[in-house]
């Protein structure tokens, strides 16, 4: 059985920042990540709100975080956690092959994109329906595509897609976008962007691949068809909180509650990043969460005193 002082679940900006702060505080730190280092920012083409960096790609920012982790010789293990259980003096984590024990846990597992749930979405996922413009945009060179959503992610990704698509329809169910004004103005200034407001998709249709959208205007009920080769969906996120829902308090959607020190209702479990109840989910706020959670975990471990040897 492998023992650590602090285990961090998730290697996005929150988890990696927590690891740096925990390591610098002298803790024995292990980061567990089921996918790749970086989390959702790997799917972001341009980042313009990271302090001190006027503009960066998500990949470039991740590489700088990776270099920082390697500088402190912090171990990041690619593995999926299947269960987290309280034990006397800590927590037991089960992964594919290992059983780990830790004195404190920082849960920074992030979130995932919400699905529309309309007919055709599941059928055409991977053959016209996508949740990642950076991943799939190049497949739609010279075609017309649609982006569904009205927040920062939808508007920013619509602008990115103009690099490849002939036309990008930006479809939103309200009469104004929820995204930041500067983001909206920048995107709508692009002649390839065509906003379609007060409208929702009722069906994604085609034969072997996406060919069209069936749309409905929410104000007048009028239905229409829109010919597109791709549909990119950005309609919010859902938390990756399933692993700890039996241990901590969360809201009706599954976002985890925490106090000002990022401690959850379970002593010894701290939360950071997109997975928690928060008013803003950005890379910079996730990193700030990671720093606070790490120092709170350090204080918690310090108060526990020396670990009891088995």
Task: Delimit the domains of the chain by residue range.
Answer: 2-112+237-304, 115-233
Give the DSSP letter of residue 125: B
Rounded Cα–Cα distance for residues 15 and 32 (Å)? 9
The residue with greater pLDDT, 309 or 20, is 20
**Rg of the Cα trace of the chain?**
21
Print burial letters for 207-226: b (CB count within 10 Å at least 16), e (below 16): eeebebbbbbeeeeeeeeeb
What's this model's pTM, rounded to 2 decimal places? 0.82
Annotation says 118 is catalytic:
no
Mean pLDDT of 282-300: 96
Statement: residue 306 has pLDDT above 60: yes
Confidence band for 98, pLDDT divided at 50, 70 and 90: confident
> For residue 68, is pLDDT > 70?
yes
Ranking 123-127, 185-189, 196-200, 221-225 by mean pLDDT, the lowest is 123-127
Helix (H) / strand (E) containing 285 = helix 283-304
Tell me whether the CATH fold assigned to 2-112+237-304 matches the one assigned to 115-233: yes
Q: Is the pLDDT of residue 182 over 50?
A: yes
What mean pLDDT comes out for the span 7-36? 96
Reply yes or no on whether the pLDDT at 259 is more than 70: yes
Element (H, E) at 91: strand 90-95
Q: Is residue 45 predicted with pLDDT exceeding 90? A: no
Summary mean pLDDT of the chain: 94
Residue 87 scores a pLDDT above 50: yes
pLDDT value, residue 310: 45
User: What pLDDT, on a 0 to 100 scale, did the predictor assign at position 198?
Assistant: 98
Backbone φ and ψ of 92, nearest 5°: -105, 130
pLDDT band at 145 (very low <50, low <70, confident <90, very high): very high
What backbone torsions phi and psi does residue 267 show, to the nearest 5 degrees? -55, 130
1 vs 286, residue with greater confidence: 286
135 in active site: yes
For residue 252, the tally of other CB atoms under 10 A from its CB is 5
Task: State whether residue 154 is helix, strand or coil.
Answer: helix
d(CA 14, CA 294) in angstroms, rounded, equals 10
User: First CA to last CA across the chain, in angstroms?
Assistant: 11
CATH 3.40.50.300 for the 2-112+237-304 domain, yes or no: no
Given the candidates 1.10.10.10, 3.40.50.2300, 3.50.50.60, 3.90.245.10, the CATH classification of the domain at 115-233 is 3.50.50.60
Q: Is 214 helix (H, G, I), strand (E, B) or coil?
A: strand
Q: What pLDDT is attached to residue 243?
A: 96
Residue 201 in this model has a pLDDT that exceeds 80 = yes
Report the pLDDT value the prediction gives residue 307, as an integer from 0 to 100: 76
* pLDDT band at residue 57 using 50, 70 and 90 as cut-offs: confident
Among residues 135, 246, 259, 302, the one annotated as catalytic is 135
* pLDDT (mean) for 234-248: 95
Torsions phi, psi for 249 (to 5 deg) = -85, 140
Mean pLDDT of 62-89: 95
Q: Which of 84-88, 132-136, 154-158, 178-182 has the lowest mean pLDDT?
A: 132-136
Number of Cα atoms under 13 Å in the Cβ half of residue 241:
26
The whole-number pLDDT of residue 96 equals 82
Q: Which of 45, 118, 132, 180 is catalytic?
A: 132
Mean pLDDT of the region 57-72: 93
Q: Which two tokens stand for residue 307?
A: 């670990």
Between residues 132 and 249, the one the model is more confident about: 249
Check residue 307 and report its DSSP letter. P
Is a pLDDT exceeding 60 seen at residue 309?
Answer: no
* Average pLDDT value for residue range 47-63: 88
308 pLDDT band (50/70/90 cuts)? low
């Amino acid at each position: 059985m492998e023992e650590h002082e602090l285990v961090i679940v998730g290697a996005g900006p929150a988890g990696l920042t927590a690891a740096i702060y925990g390591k610098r505080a002298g803790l024995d730190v292990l980061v567990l990540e089921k996918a790749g280092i970086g989390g959702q920012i790997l799917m972001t083409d341009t980042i313009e709100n990271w302090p001190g960096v006027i503009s960066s790609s998500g990949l470039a920012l991740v590489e700088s975080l990776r270099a920082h982790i390697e500088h402190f010789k912090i171990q990041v293990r690619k593995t999926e956690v299947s269960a987290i259980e309280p034990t006397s003096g800590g927590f037991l984590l089960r992964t594919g092959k290992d059983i780990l024990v830790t004195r404190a846990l920082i849960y920074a597992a992030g979130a995932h994109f919400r699905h529309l749930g309309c007919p055709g979405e599941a059928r055409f996922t991977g053959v016209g329906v996508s949740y990642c413009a950076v991943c799939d945009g190049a497949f739609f060179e010279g075609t017309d595509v649609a982006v569904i959503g009205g927040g920062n992610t939808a508007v920013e990704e619509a602008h990115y897609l103009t690099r490849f698509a002939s036309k990008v329809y930006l479809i939103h169910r309200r009469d104004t976008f929820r995204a930041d004004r500067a983001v909206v103005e920048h995107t709508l200034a692009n002649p390839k962007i065509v906003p379609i407001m007060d409208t929702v998709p009722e069906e994604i249709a085609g034969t072997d691949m996406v060919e069209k959208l069936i749309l409905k205007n929410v104000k007048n009920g009028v239905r229409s068809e829109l010919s597109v080769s791709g549909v990119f969906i950005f309609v919010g996120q859902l938390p990756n909180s399933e692993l700890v829902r039996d241990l901590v308090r969360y809201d009706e959607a599954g976002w985890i509650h925490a106090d000002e020190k990022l401690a959850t209702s379970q002593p010894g479990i701290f939360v950071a990043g997109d997975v928690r109840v928060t008013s803003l989910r950005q890379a910079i706020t996730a990193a700030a969460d990671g720093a606070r959670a790490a120092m709170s975990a350090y204080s918690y471990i310090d108060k526990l005193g020396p670990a009891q040897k088995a």
